[in-house]
Each structure stands twice: as structure tokens, then as C-alpha cells.
Amino acid sequence: MLVLLLLLFLALLSIGLWAYARTVLTSAAADAARAAANYDVTGAVTTEQVAAQLGDGVVGGTRSSLRCTSGADGLLVTVTCTMDAPGIVGLLNGVMPAIEVTGHSAKETVE
């Protein structure tokens, strides 16, 4: 019985960590979209900005798999980031589905 409870606890912990990582990545992508809208930065620069915001903690453990692209459609700037899901320990990185998020921002123009 103890083994089943431990497995259930670890599964719930993994789902919670995945949701937390998705929330942090969504926030970082939105911040990168705001920077891209104001300063016209490239996808490589947005990837560096997002990676810096992820930090060195549990969520930042899969920063090496982080890929971000940015694009503009008129006044709307979109930053899309994809990253492998972090695991409770390094051996479990990528067990959960990959995380893909999109951040949007409007360009501010002065005429």
C-alpha cells in the first residue's frame, strides 16, 4: 500500500511541477514579447531573455532544450517558446509532455 501511495504522490508532484514550469514559461514569454515589441529583438535574444528569467532552479533544469521564436503581424508581436518538461530529479526530465507557450504584446508606435 505504501508503494502505491508513494507513486501517487510522485505523480501528483510531477504534474504540479509541470504546471508550475508552464506558468513560469508563460510569464517569461510574455515579458520577452513586450521586449521584442519595444526593441525589435531577434529570436535568439528572446531565447536568452526567457532563459535568464527561468533561472537556475528546478524549472531552469531543462533550459538547454528551450527554443523561442518571435514574429510580428502588424502591431501584434508573438513569442512562442517550447521546452522539455522538468522532472523531480534530473533523470525524469522530459517524462511529461513538452511545454509550449505563446506570449503576445502590442507594438507601441508614436507618430
pLDDT in tens, 56-100: 887 888 888 999 998 888 889 999 999 998 887 766 776 789 999
> How much is the pTM?
0.84
**Which has more pLDDT, 58 or 33?**
33
Statement: residue 108 has pLDDT above 90: no
DSSP string, the chain: -HHHHHHHHHHHHHHHHHHHHHHHHHHHHHHHHHHHHHH---HHHHHHHHHHHH-SSSGGGGGGG-EEEEEEETTEEEEEEEEPPP-SSGGGTTSSPPEEEEEEEEPP---
Contact 37, 45 (CB under 8 A): no
